[in-house]
């Protein structure tokens, strides 16, 4: 049997029928080929259990500690301090725990997601699909011990492993938690339901994120439009002010031109009067020289040329 599982594209995740068919294929995952996080877990949990088993030695007198340690092998490794998957089960249920976790971790990765363990805690398991995260805990439930044999050295009422596994998957987006037990049926028969809940939560929160991003984009565009409108309004006010100031300036210039023209016309009339008065005078040459100097100083043609240039500059600046 080919146990290589195909990936499932997230953009097709709304297709429930195709998705469930793919989930069913996860049961073909070879339980002997554990996910890398499970391999690390298996190594480290055994070191931790060994340390816990022989923890009593540290409470013995120093001489007895040496004697006890010489008879047993305790593996010391800083690796045992690193974070591992959140799996808390007894040795008898470890294989069952590995099978469901193997399917879960590899399944998420085949969806394009990832598994996050981190380094802040002793145990931690997070599944990540895009920006949506789930915290996973797998533990063996305990039950009350009831020892009928009064000669037993064990406490009459304690807690012992029940042999029942509990898988807890909490969606960190909305804090919803789904709990699954293998008491009535094995996890292999619940695999479709487990992934279906993940699928529905992913679709819901993916759409929530999309809607949030859409609103952010709309708000950003609206802010940009408002800023552009404000900029245009300020620019319009500035231009209006400049036009108003320029118009006032033009009014002053026109008024000055009017005064200058009136003065030129008065001088021109004065010159004509001089010509009439001194046309037969012996001082005509002197008067003509004076008139010529006056006309050079107050020249109507120069004024007209100046006025044309001024008029042209107005249209060049598009100021009406």
Residue 26 within any structural domain of the chain: yes
Collapsed DSSP state (helix, strand, coil) of residue 165 = strand
| Per-residue pLDDT at 90 | 92
Residue 4 within any structural domain of the chain: no
Give me 111's structure tokens. Answer: 């969806």
| Per-residue pLDDT at 223 | 95
Residues 246 and 180 in one domain: no
Residues 174 and 298 in one domain: no
Residue 192 within any structural domain of the chain: no
Residues 128 and 14 in one domain: yes
For residue 132, the tally of other CB atoms under 10 A from its CB is 21
Residues 168 and 260 in one domain: no
The DSSP secondary-structure symbol of 7 reads P
Q: What is the pLDDT of residues 137-148, one digit of tens each?
A: 999 998 887 655
Collapsed DSSP state (helix, strand, coil) of residue 196 = helix
Residue with tokens 């011990």: 145
Find out whether 133 and 172 touch, Cβ atoms under 8 Å. Answer: yes
Residues 55 and 173 in one domain: yes
Estimate to the nearest angstrom the gap between the alpha carbon of 279 and the chain centroid: 97
Residue 208 within any structural domain of the chain: no
User: Can you list the residues of the chain whose pLDDT is less than 70?
Assistant: 1-3, 52-80, 146-157, 314-320
Residues 176 and 84 in one domain: yes
Residue 191 within any structural domain of the chain: no
Residues 112 and 178 in one domain: yes
Find out whether 102 and 34 touch, Cβ atoms under 8 Å. Answer: yes
| Per-residue pLDDT at 315 | 61
Q: What is the pLDDT of residues 31-50, one digit of tens each?
A: 889 999 999 999 998 888 77
Residue 215 within any structural domain of the chain: no
Find out whether 53 and 91 touch, Cβ atoms under 8 Å. Answer: no
Residues 169 and 35 in one domain: yes
DSSP per-residue codes, 120-144: SSSB--EEEETTEEEEEEEEEEEEE
DSSP per-residue codes, 20-77: HHHHHHGGGS-TTS--HHHHHHHHHHHHHHHHHHTGGGGGS-HHHHHHHHHHS-----
Residues 177 and 253 in one domain: no
Residue 251 within any structural domain of the chain: yes
Find out whether 131 and 209 touch, Cβ atoms under 8 Å. Answer: yes
| Per-residue pLDDT at 72 | 56
Instruction: Of 227, 112, 217, 108, give the one whose Cα is nearest residue 169.
Output: 108
State the pTM of this model: 0.69
Please enumerate in sequence order all residues whose Cβ is within 8 A of that of 162, keeping only pairs 6 or more positions apart, or say none. 140, 141, 142, 143
Residues 164 and 260 in one domain: no
| Per-residue pLDDT at 246 | 82
Residues 176 and 246 in one domain: no
Give me 271's structure tokens. Answer: 């010159």
- CA gap 172, 177 in Å, rounded: 9
Write out the residue range of the structural domain in which residue 125 sits.
10-144+157-184
- CA gap 36, 101 in Å, rounded: 11
Residue 32 within any structural domain of the chain: yes
Domain count, the chain: 2
- CA gap 252, 260 in Å, rounded: 12
Give percent of the chain with pLDDT exceeding 90.
Answer: 49
Residues 138 and 43 in one domain: yes
């Amino acid at each position: 049997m080919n146990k290589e599982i195909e990936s499932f594209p997230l953009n097709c995740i709304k297709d429930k029928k195709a998705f469930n068919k793919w989930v069913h294929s996860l049961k073909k995952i070879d339980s002997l080929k554990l996910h890398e996080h499970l391999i690390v877990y298996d190594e480290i949990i055994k070191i931790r259990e060994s340390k816990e088993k022989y923890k009593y030695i540290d409470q013995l007198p120093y001489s007895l500690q040496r004697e006890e340690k010489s008879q047993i092998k305790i593996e010391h490794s800083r690796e045992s301090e690193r974070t591992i998957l959140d799996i808390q089960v007894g040795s008898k249920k470890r294989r069952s725990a590995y099978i469901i976790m193997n399917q879960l971790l590899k399944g998420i990765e085949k969806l394009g997601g990832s598994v996050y363990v981190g380094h802040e805690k002793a145990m931690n398991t997070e599944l990540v699909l895009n920006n949506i995260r789930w915290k996973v805990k797998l533990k063996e439930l305990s039950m009350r011990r009831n020892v009928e044999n009064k000669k037993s050295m064990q406490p009459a009422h304690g807690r012992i492993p029940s042999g029942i596994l509990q898988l807890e998957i909490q969606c960190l987006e909305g804090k919803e938690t789904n709990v699954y037990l293998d008491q009535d049926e094995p996890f292999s028969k619940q695999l479709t339901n487990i992934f279906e809940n993940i699928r529905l939560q992913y679709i819901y929160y993916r759409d929530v994120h999309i809607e949030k991003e859409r609103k952010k984009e709309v708000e950003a565009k609206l802010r940009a439009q408002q800023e552009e409108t404000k900029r245009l309004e300020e620019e319009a006010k500035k231009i209006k002010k400049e036009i108003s100031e320029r118009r006032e300036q033009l009014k002053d210039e026109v008024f000055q031109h009017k005064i200058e023209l009136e003065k030129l016309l008065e001088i021109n009339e004065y010159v004509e009067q001089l010509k009439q008065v001194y046309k037969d005078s012996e001082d005509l040459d002197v008067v003509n020289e004076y008139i010529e100097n006056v006309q050079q100083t107050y020249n109507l043609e120069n004024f007209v040329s100046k006025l044309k240039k001024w008029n042209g500059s107005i249209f060049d600046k598009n100021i009406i």
